[in-house]
Every structure is written in C-alpha cells, then in structure tokens.
A and B are shown apart, each in its own frame.
Chain A
Amino acid sequence: MSFLDTPVGGAFRALQDDDHHLGPMQRITGTMRCFRDDEEVDYLVVGVGSAGGVLCQRLARGGFKVVGMEAGRFWDSERDWVSDEAGSHGLYWEDPRVIGGTDPLTLGANNCGKGVGGGSVHWAAFAPRFHPSDFEVYTRDGVGADWPISYQDLKPYYELLELEMPVAGPAWYPWGDPHGYAYGPHPMGEVGNTLIRGCTKLGIGVSVGGPVAILSGSRGDRAHCIYRGFCIQACKVGAKASTLITHVPDALVHGAEVRDRCMAARIELGKNNRVAGVHYFDREGKARFQRAKAVIVSGYAIETPRLLLNSACPEYPQGLANSSGTVGKYLMAQAGNVIAGRFDELIRMYKAPPAHCLTEEFYETDPKRDFARGFAIQTVGPLPIAFAKQMMAAKGVWGWGLRRTMMDYNHWCALGLLGEILPWEDNAVTISATDKDQFGLPVAHVTFNLHDNDKKLIAYGKNVVMDVMCAAGAEEVVQESRCAHLVGAARMGSDPATSVVDGFGRTHDIANLFVCDGSVMPTQGSANPGLTIQALAARTADYLISQGTAIFNTDRRDMTPPPVRRELSPPGTHGDGVPRLK
C-alpha cells in the first residue's frame, strides 16, 4: 500500500500491491482518493453494501466528496473468495449478537453480509420488484403500515437498477405492475424444472429463468453465469451483481473513498442539532473521528439501529434520531420455510444458481384466505452443509439417519416459501446490556416473535409449496421452518411520531442525518428486498443531489420529488446500445 503525500487533489492510495480483481476480467487498477479525518467530507456513508454502494457511486458522480466506511474487507474476488461452503464465513456478519423472542432469528450466514458489497455479495440475487399494493398495506388491508411513497415514485429506479445490475428474466412478467426484462432468462436447472412441473399440474403460473440479477450473457468485462451453484458463497465469476462490482468501481473513478475494515462506533452530534461526523475504529483498531457535513447510515436492519442506539447523547438519551422511540422497532424477516422433496429420479440441485424460477401467484391478499397478504414460491439450491442442517431440522435425523439421508442428496429438490411477515412493534433491535464486540461496543439484541397473521400465512403457504412438490412427483416431502432477509427497524413514514425517517431517508430529528438501506422499509411484501434497497438508494441519491448544498447549510426540509438522473448510471448501463425492452 503506498500513500502519496501529494496535496494537489488530495491523497491517493492503491487498493492492493498489484491488480485488484472483481471477477476474472474486471480489475481496479487505478488509485483511490483518500480523505483525511480532519477534512470535512460532504457525505459519510456508513456501510458499503447494497444501498451504500449505490449511494457512493451516485453521490461521487454528483460531485460530492464521499467516504464510504465499511466494517469488512474490500474483497478481491480471485484471492478472497472460494467455491466452498465452509470457507466462506468471512462473507457473513458473524460478530457477536444476541437473539431471543418466541421465534429467534438466526443471523450470520442467513441474512447479514460484511465487506464491501455487503449482502449483495452473498445474496442469491432474486430481484423481483415490490408490487404497487406493498406501498399501501394499511390502507388496503388494515394491517402493517403505508409507505410515505408509492410504487410510481420508485418505478423509474426499478427500471434503472434492473439495467445497472442487470436483471435477467422473461420478456413478460405478469405480477404486480406487469413488466419485462431486457436481459434474457437463464436456462433451467432441475430444481426449476421441478417447480415448473408441480405448478403446471396445479394450474399455477411460473416465471422461468428470473428475475435474477445474474448475467445470462456476458457484458463488458463481466462474464455470464457458469451455473456452478455457489451464488451465496459470492460469485467469483463476476456474473452475479453485487454493488462491489456494479457500482463501487465507478464510485472510485469519480473520487469516492471506500475505507474498508473500519467499524463505526458512534455518530457525533455537533452544534445546532446537526451531526458532525462519525467515531470509528480503523483497521489497526485505533479510535478515530471522521468529520462530515452529512452522515448516511447504511448498515442494514441490525447494525443501523445499533449504531443509532449506541450514539445516544444528552440531547437524544434514547438513541440518536429516536425521539419517536421507533428506532429498532418493526424489524421484519420473511418467512423462508424450505420444502424439500425426495424424488426417485436424480435432481443434483447444486447445479445452476439457487435462484432461477419462481411464482408470485399467491402474492396478494386473497379474501378467501384467513390472513392478510401473501407469499411467493422460489427455487433454492442448498449445498451439502446447508442441506444437512435443513434435513436435521426437517426430518429430525442424526447419526446414521443423517448419513443415510445425505447419501441421497442428489435425489432431493428444495423449494423456498417467501412469505410476508408484517411489521410488529415488539420485533425489535435493542442494545445488549451484557455482550460487547471486539471493539468493546455493546452488541445488538434482536427479539423476534411471530404473530397470528404470520403464523396463518406460513401454515397456509408451506402447505401450498408442499402440494406443488407432491404434484411434481415427490415421494417424500418435508419442511423446515426458517426466515430469510431482514428489513425495517428504522422505518420511513410521514408522521415523525411513528417513524424514523421521511420518504427520502432523512431522519425526522436531525436534518443532516439519513438512513438508507433495508431498515427504512415500513413493510416488505413477499419479494426479495435487494432490488428495492438499491432502487431506494438511487432515489435518495437523486434527492440529495437535487438539494445541493442545502443539506449542509439549512434545516429546511424540501419534499419536492427530484428529477430522475439516468445519466448517473454506471457506464454501459444506460443509453444507446444497452439492451432494453419497449
């Protein structure tokens, strides 16, 4: 690592001693801008994951001085990633946390990323949009909450991000707001074939080959998918989209600094009810302070509320931006029951991406059912360790019973329920009174309880998936209860008394403090949240850019929707020559 002390234009450093790989062809070869701690940057983004990566890229292109601070590593895909389940723990947030409630949420590999790219490095990359109904759940169903924004507000950003990732899928997608995908669908693996066969027998429509943020054809310096099945161990191929490879390189080119292995400890409240910067521990464990004109917290649904709560100060004794008492509350996961079926024929579910076929036929509220909202059914492709854990839960096997079940691994097929769990006040992130992390910071304590509507939805939904598996010809069908994804815990809303941020992600309490990640979602639908998180980040970035220096100088809250800035997309992802539908 070489620091050049050239004052002109600031300091720069190389990322690695030599080439930095993002997939087999893409490289970061240049140097990265480096800001000094005492240099007041415009935006300090805490967490460079799905949202943080997009924010850094957009804000840097918008001409701002941006630092993205990331607790984990700046990955080199060739050196750091392996096609190996047990060797991939570094991708997941496995720092200590405490879980409880009637239905404790297991964290770590299931739902928490660490390192530049965050969760988008290990997601399976299903990238469906939310439905228009998701934004008005309270109005329609009398449960959950309404968003302060509508589907139409987000739609242009869905369209942008579907090209920036890009998302492969069918030319016609019938659910929610019907639309198509410009990048062609993926070939089927046998898990997808099984879902198609079961659904077709039962008259259920299926989306084949996507929507999934994996390249079905090579583009630029990114190769197409090679169907090796290790998506959630990070894509060495560079085919699966992560902000690490889709947005961070463009952010660096435009002068953003991504400061990895730096753990934010506390946001400092300065004068005039404005934040002044972030206290953090650098990669040597040294306590430092980065000044900033505005701070955006993008730490996802556990670390975002943890940082706000750990930043309590005399002015905000129950946590920064928490005058409503809502920070940490209304945490959501999605029901993610895995339904496994054993077939006489071979399946070999380790081939093809886990995510390649789904149905949203049951997504919307159906008055004939005894619960609000709905669910999706998706392919999953657990590798041996994951599958062994699922079988121990689903079949109660151990010892020789486990060995025997696993010897039939290639005869099993797994499908996932993805069910909407509603936001409940008692599902919450608080600060542990007992446990601290390696920096001495109190860790998150996550409480999770399923409520009546959730339980009814899961009971119904899992039976539908089991019916599909039986219709496909399975001779034995078992299921494991589990949850997937995390959102909520710093929700957006129009009422400052019941929400943390406004429709653009600005905290109601502090004019230069923002939250932008999955934690701002008031409800979650039964779509995987990754695309929506990135779309929200692009919209927040457009807002910040349209506000210019007003964010830094005034407490005025202008709620005028910003123009959509398509020109801020990374190169090669918009305009002439880029595949598009119409």
Chain B
Amino acid sequence: MESDPARLPVDAEGKPLVPRPQPGYYPKFSTLSQQAFWDAATRTVVLQRVTAPPPVRFFTAPEAEIIQRVIEHVLPQDDRVPERQIPILPFIDERLFAGRTPGYRFEDMPPDGEAYRLFLRAVDLMALEAHGAQFLRLPWHEADVLLQSVHDGKPSGAQDIWKKLPVKHFWTIMMGDCVEAYYAHPWAWDEIGFGGPAYPRAYFRLEGGAPEPWESHERHYAWDLPPGCVSGEHEAEAAHTDTPTHGETGSH
C-alpha cells in the first residue's frame, strides 16, 4: 500500500502526518519487547500471528483483490509505513476457509463465506451502476462514499443482492472480522497503549490510569481525520434504530 498524502490524517494545521512505524500516542511503547515475561503458550500464539500470517485459500485472487481494497477503506492504515501495516485479509480468509462461525448465523443471512461473496458482487455492481466502473477502478473518495452507504444500511445500488444479504448484519460481521485481526496484533496494542499479556508477571498499578514501569506515558498530539474522509463518527441511534444489533463480545 502506497500512501497518498490526501488519504493521511492531518495535524492541527491540516498538514498530512507523515506515515510512521507506530501511530498512536505511545511512541516508544512495545508490547513485543516484553515477550520474555509472557507464558509460553501466549508467546507462541502471538508470535505466530506476527511472523506467519495464514495463506489466502478461501478467496480467489480476483476476490482477494477486491476485499483487500474494501479493508483498506474500512480499516485504513495509510498512517503506517508499509512494512508495519497489519495484515487483515489472511485472518478473515482463514476463518472462512476453516468454516469457523462466531457461534451463530442470523436466520436471514447466508453462511458467512457465501455472504462475503455476495458482498463482493454487490460492491462491484454498485460501482458499475453508479460510476460505470468496477469497484477497484473507483477513485478513493467514491469508493468511500459507496461503503458509507453500506455502513448506513442504505446501499446505493445492487438492491437484488442486498435482498439476500441483510446489510446491517453483514456490515457487523465484516467489521467484526476486521477488528478481530487488527486489534489482535501487538503493533495495534502499541498504538493504543494496551499492555497486552501479563501472565505470569501481573499488573501492579491498577488505579488512576498509571502505567506499569514497562508501559509508556501517553503523549497526545494533534490528529484529525484526513480531509474529505467520510468514515468519521456517526450517531449510533440513527444507525441502529430499526434493527438493534446485539454485541457478541461478553464482558459481564
């Protein structure tokens, strides 16, 4: 992924922020540097993720190209230098290849693999209907707008496909898969200041948001959305009044 300056987050003056190895407010923080203090099973799982992402086996090469482009829009990483961008597609592909479910299928949804394939057909058809071009050939902003309509639950075209693919359920599943890959990566933990695995060492400073001796203090700086970017924040109530989606991640 080459970074187009127009797609970069900007500083207080609106100037693009230069891509860096580690975005976020914890510049020197590295969870991987603490791996000697992790238990062996955890270290194996996390290092495997970092060093050997699974091969792409479910999606065909043309499908993989489209889904990769979608991922670059829905979970952009232009602010990361290319060698520190976090692979997402291989982990989605692996789940679909293995036929793993999150533990359910909505009664009005096809199985997840089929759903992804319907989605890929839908974005291409939407691009053709609106712009007379395949999705991959759309200018960046137009592709963003197209995906925004899917996010909003009001896809701008390909209505026959969306009849078979409830749009909000699919969006939730796809975005869930994306964050499940991105925020599983230690580079993302470094970015957001998450301390990561702490067995058997433990956390000691529980109160006041204090860092452990091996964690970093936050260093905030001006960071704003790329100009013209449509994937900002949106009112939840507007997005979810008609079909409330219930989260799947347990925390009680």
Contact = CB atoms under 8 A, between A and B. Distances in A.
B103 A112 contact: yes
B90 to A, nearest CB: 13
B75 A399 contact: yes
Interface string A268-280: 0000000000000
B129 interface: no
B100 A89 contact: yes
A342 to B, nearest CB: 12
Interface in B175-212: 175-176, 179-184, 188-189, 191-211
Contacts of A130: none
Given A99-B106, A350-B195, A403 B76 contact: yes
> B interface, by DSSP: helix, strand, loop or mixed?
loop
Interface in A427-444: 435
A403 B23 CA distance: 10
Given A96-B101, A99-B107, A400-B226, A383 B194 contact: yes
B245 interface: yes
A416 B249 CA distance: 12
B208 A380 contact: no
B236 interface: yes
A190 B209 contact: yes
Interface residues of B, number: 86
A406 interface: yes
A350 B202 CA distance: 12
Nearest to A187: B206
B199 A237 contact: yes
Chain A residues touching B, range? 35 or more
Most A-side CB within 10 Å, residue of B103, B194, B226: B103
Given A226-B200, A388-B183, A481 B194 contact: no
Interface in A76-128: 78-87, 89, 92-100, 103-112, 122, 124, 126
A354 B251 contact: yes
Given A100-B108, A108-B103, A390-B247, A407 B191 contact: yes
Most B-side CB within 10 Å, residue of A84, A345, A348, A401: A348
A401 B232 contact: yes
Contacts of B40: 78
Given A94-B100, A399-B144, A109 B248 contact: yes
A100 B180 CA distance: 24
A122 B199 contact: no
A255 B147 CA distance: 59
A480 interface: yes
Nearest to B200: A24
B246 to A, nearest CB: 5
A550 interface: no
Interface string B40-56: 11100110010000000
Interface in B218-252: 218, 223, 225-226, 229-236, 238-240, 244-252
Contacts of A99: 104-107
Contacts of B108: 100
Interface string A409-440: 11000101010000000000000000100000
Given A84-B46, A93-B103, A109-B103, A380 B251 contact: yes
Contact of B198 (A83, A94, A354): A83
A15 interface: no
Given A84-B184, A229-B198, A398-B151, A409 B193 contact: yes
B74 interface: yes
A580 interface: no
A416 B102 contact: no
Contacts of A100: 106-108
Interface string A339-375: 0000001111011101100000000000000000000
Most A-side CB within 10 Å, residue of B206, B231, B233, B236: B206
A428 B100 CA distance: 25
Contacts of B230: 399
Interface stretch (A287-295, A482-490, A496-504, A567-575): A482-490
B58 interface: no
Interface string A463-491: 00000000000000011111111000000
A86 B178 CA distance: 12
Contact of A416 (B105, B238, B251): B251
B39 A78 contact: yes
B164 to A, nearest CB: 15
B162 interface: no
27 contacts: A79-B41, A94-B100, A98-B104, A106-B248, A107-B103, A107-B248, A109-B102, A189-B206, A226-B202, A228-B199, A348-B209, A378-B252, A384-B194, A385-B249, A388-B179, A388-B182, A396-B233, A396-B234, A396-B239, A401-B234, A402-B175, A405-B233, A406-B183, A409-B194, A478-B236, A479-B236, A481-B246
Interface of B: 9, 23-25, 38-42, 45-46, 49, 73-76, 79, 91, 100-108, 144, 147, 151, 172, 175-176, 179-184, 188-189, 191-211, 218, 223, 225-226, 229-236, 238-240, 244-252
Interchain residue pairs A-B with the least CB separation, the first 7: A108-B103, A399-B231, A346-B209, A226-B202, A100-B107, A86-B184, A83-B197
